[in-house]
Structure 1
Amino acid sequence: MVQTIGNPASWGAKAVHDGARALGDAAQHMRSDMDVHPRVHSIGVEDLWKALLLGVRDFSRFRSDVIALVVIYPMIGVFLAAMAFERAMVPFLFPMVSGFALIGPVAAVGLYAMSALHEDGQEASWADALAMLRARALGPVLVLGLYLFAMFFLWMAAAYWVYNVTLGPAMPESVAGFMRDVFTTSDGWTMIWMGCGIGAVFAFVVLTTALTSFPMLLDRPVGLPTAVVTSLRVASKNPLPVVVWGMIVAGMLVLGAMPAFLGMIFVLPILGHATWHLYRMAVSFD
């Protein structure tokens, strides 16, 4: 067949048509399938360690693909750290680092897909994971990802407010001076306790809504409402394991931030694969 060069009008019409079809597919995936019925199971703290071991196993199996995927993550961290050492940004270095926990589930979507593909006996490369995401859950994942990024920016706004009412509003003159004010003044300790308390609320909200929702969207056509509600049900039925899991994630992310966020190359894929296996332990379908 002879192909001709189209004019700009035809290009534009085709782009609009393709975009409308993509939006239609995404909207279709937003709805819940009434024939899919998630069943929530009780899990124990010992299941968390089993999920971590399975995560380590998957990380070792997919090492080349995983490192290529998550190397972007520490690069972003280094960039944010460099920004934070500007004088005006010093008070917000820790909030930015801890805020990674709020957007981590978005960065791990490809890892969930790789574990799912391997579980089904299929190829589990990064390209296959992207194809699976586009085919099954692109729309809901994008919406849920926007929610997590909104939570991150709200957290940063809250951290800015906490600094203003304690050590602010003036910016510190140096990193050493800021650290001295934080640990040797009553206002500094007030900032620490207020920040940790508010941060814990943000972390709890994100953990309970995103714990199993991202993996479930990749696993079944459940729709966004069912995925989020099921994640809340998992947290409600297993409060202690979920809290312990949150502490494990926070501790591993702190370790991954040292040195210069390079540890994230190992921490993020292990947590991502482990979250998939934790989802499989906590949720099944009739």
Structure 2
Amino acid sequence: MTTFHVMAGSDDMAERPAIRRITLSDVRDALALGFEDFRAKPSHYVFLSLIYPICGVVLVTWSSGANLLPLIFPLIAGFALLGPFFALGLYEISRRRELGMDTSWRHALEVRHSPALPSILAVGALLFVLFVAWLVFAQMLYTNLFGPEPPQSLGLFMASIFSSENGLLLMLAGNAIGFCFALVVLATTVIAFPLMLDRDVGAVVAMETSLRATLMNPMPIAAWGLIVAALLIVGTIPLFVGLAVIMPILGHATWHLYRKLVVDERT
């Protein structure tokens, strides 16, 4: 039965899982293992995979129709901030495959029965707040540089971005702000969701463990962040269709990265 224990684990103890030091080869291995998980039974993940390109297209369509063209890129980039939460089902599939259990697609939905669900939802809510904050900052930046009036068309909008000093400043400042948001999410949630799914340690402990893992392994975690960013960019190019493959692989790989970073003291 799911109970409300967000600050600490189910036994009200603030467990601090031990962290390993890893190398870049471990990051590559985690990615390879994630690909193996995806390749094992990819048909089971189709319905999950399609969520990502569909949501991406919907976000762009909505922003265009609502005269919110300046928010197209922030929406696409910010959508990645929510990725760790949306990959919960993929972590569960990798966990079950690791244990030799049934990995039918329906088990991806069993996360809703996890005793750590309140903690998972709490961290998910935090990611949503960061997502909204990123959009607010992006809109404020555009308004300060180009004024409150929305662009009349996509062509005029693109021209103003790529042919003016304000456009260059928007890209530089926007990417810098986005990097800060992404860094916060990476450092605090890189393994938080897999940890909560595997061991009900509480939201605060899960985020603190992710932060400790990042500080102990700055280069491997930075490399992981760059790999994720690069693959997400590649996935969005063909009308988001590539995300149907990229996101599941990254989701599975995140589980294996968690396994490499956190010592399982229960065995």
Q: Any residues of structure 2 matched to 1:1-286 within 5 Å, and which?
A: 25-28=2-5, 31-32=8-9, 33=11, 34=13, 36-86=15-65, 88-286=67-265
Q: Determine helix, strand or coil for the equivalent of 1:153.
A: helix
- Quickly say closer, same or farther: Cα 1:245–1:72, change in 2 above 3 A: same
% identical aligned pairs: 40
Measure how far apart 1:213 and its partner are: 0.6
Listed one character per residue, the Cα deviations across residues 116-148 of structure 1 (whole Å, up to 9, x for unaligned) are: 011111112232233254133211111111111
Q: Work out whether residues 88 and 111 of structure 2, in 8 Å CA contact, stay in contact via their aligned partners in 1.
A: no
Across the aligned residues of Structure 1 and Structure 2, the Cα RMSD in angstroms comes to 1.6
Q: Which runs of 5+ in 2 are unaligned?
A: none
Consecutive unaligned residues of structure 1, counting only runs of 5 or more, are: 1-21
1:27 alignment partner, SS class = coil
Q: Does the CA-based 8 Å contact 1:113-1:133 persist in structure 2?
A: no
TM-score, normalised on structure 2?
0.93
Change in Cα spacing, 1:215 to 1:188, as seen in structure 2 (3 Å) is: same
Is the 8 Å Cα contact of residues 84 and 189 (structure 2) preserved in structure 1?
A: yes
Write the distance in 2 (CA, Å) between the matches of 1:267 and 1:93.
20
Which digits, 9 at most, give the CA deviation of each residue in 1:172-206, with x for residues without a partner?
Answer: 12111111111111111111111001100100001
Which letter maps to 2:180? V
CA contact (8 A) 1:117 1:129 kept: no
Change (3 A) 1:30 1:116: farther
Runs of 4+ in 1 over 6 A off after TM superposition: none
Q: 1:28 to 1:84 in 2, by over 3 A?
A: closer
SS of 1:40's equivalent in the other structure is coil
Q: How many residues align?
A: 263
CA distance in 2, matches of 1:238, 1:53: 19
